[in-house]
């Protein structure tokens, strides 16, 4: 197999070295899962996305350094950005991705500069009992605890509480879920803030998590009485996205910037 194109894209940001970095690997043929997992471990980013052209669109799979996941927003945004920037797709073509979570689409919003709109499924949050001593693990008192079949969602009393969290990652890794989303209403420019912790799948704190907002969007829309929200994920790198709820879908709108582009030299199976 020839050398493969490999890029790093910072997603949900317009500035390099912020937002959430994703590795994007463009495949020429289907590759074994173990090989993709090895590449993701080598890249050691929150997600490595693997793209394979199909008759209509692209097959898309996402891997953390330790496991494959069912849904990822920032690496989908990064994949779409990569396809347009590389000229593989023309600027007016939507990006179609066939994934474990069904068909996901992305389109550019030229009237709004460099913004990209992802069409994702909403993930409704149901009230749930605290897994273990969650208050002690997070170091903060929950106002609400819910579950969306992927993650636990925890509302705390203030944005300051979210920003100051210093959770016990070893204890979080024992919770039987992909991870824990902690959120509060924002007192600043954004409507809501959050931080996302996924040590069980090899990511202590994810910088900006599109898939988490599939749950945060409907959760906060119901509380704030708004169908459009501005969200900020308050990790060290930080990232912004706009949320629009339409039926049972959610539009995640963000920006992206390519930071590196090169070749994967060892592309054998």
Active site members: 47
With CA atoms as reference, report the closest residue to 208 among 75, 65, 119. 75
CA distances (Å), origin 218, targets 107, 192, 249, 264: 22, 12, 10, 39
How many other β-carbons are positioned within 10 Å of the β-carbon of residue 247? 6
Strands 68-69, 58-63: pairing kind: antiparallel
* Pairwise CA distance, residues 217 & 245, whole Å: 7
Residue 10 CA to residue 99 CA, distance in Å, equals 21
The answer to whether residues 106 and 116 touch, using CB atoms and an 8 Å cutoff, is yes
Distant-in-sequence, close-in-space partners of 123: CB < 8 Å, separation ≥ 6: 148, 149, 150, 211, 214, 215, 218
């Amino acid at each position: 197999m020839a050398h493969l194109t490999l890029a790093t894209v910072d997603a949900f940001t317009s500035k390099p070295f912020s937002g959430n970095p994703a590795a994007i690997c463009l495949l020429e043929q289907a590759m074994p899962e173990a090989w993709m997992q090895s590449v993701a471990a080598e890249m050691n980013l929150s997600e490595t996305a693997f793209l394979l052209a199909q008759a209509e669109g692209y097959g898309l799979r996402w891997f953390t350094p330790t496991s494959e996941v069912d849904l990822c927003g920032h690496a989908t945004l990064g994949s779409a950005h990569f396809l347009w920037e590389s000229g593989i797709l023309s600027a007016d073509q939507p990006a179609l991705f066939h994934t474990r979570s069904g068909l996901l689409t992305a389109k550019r919003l030229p009237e709004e500069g460099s913004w990209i709109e992802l069409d994702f499924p909403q993930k409704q949050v149901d009230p749930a009992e605290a897994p273990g001593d969650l208050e002690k693990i997070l170091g903060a008192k929950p106002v609400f605890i819910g579950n969306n079949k992927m993650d636990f969602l925890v509302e705390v009393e203030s944005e300051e509480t979210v920003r100051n969290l210093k959770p016990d990652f070893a204890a979080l890794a024992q919770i039987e879920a992909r991870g824990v989303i902690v959120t509060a209403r924002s007192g600043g420019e954004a409507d809501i803030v959050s931080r996302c912790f996924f040590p069980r799948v090899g990511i202590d704190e994810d910088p900006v998590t599109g898939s988490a907002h599939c749950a945060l969007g409907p959760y906060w829309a119901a509380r704030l009485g708004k169908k459009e929200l501005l969200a900020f994920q308050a990790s060290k790198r930080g990232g912004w996205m706009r949320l629009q709820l339409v039926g049972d879908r959610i539009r995640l709108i963000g920006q992206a910037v390519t930071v590196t582009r090169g070749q994967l030299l060892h592309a054998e199976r």
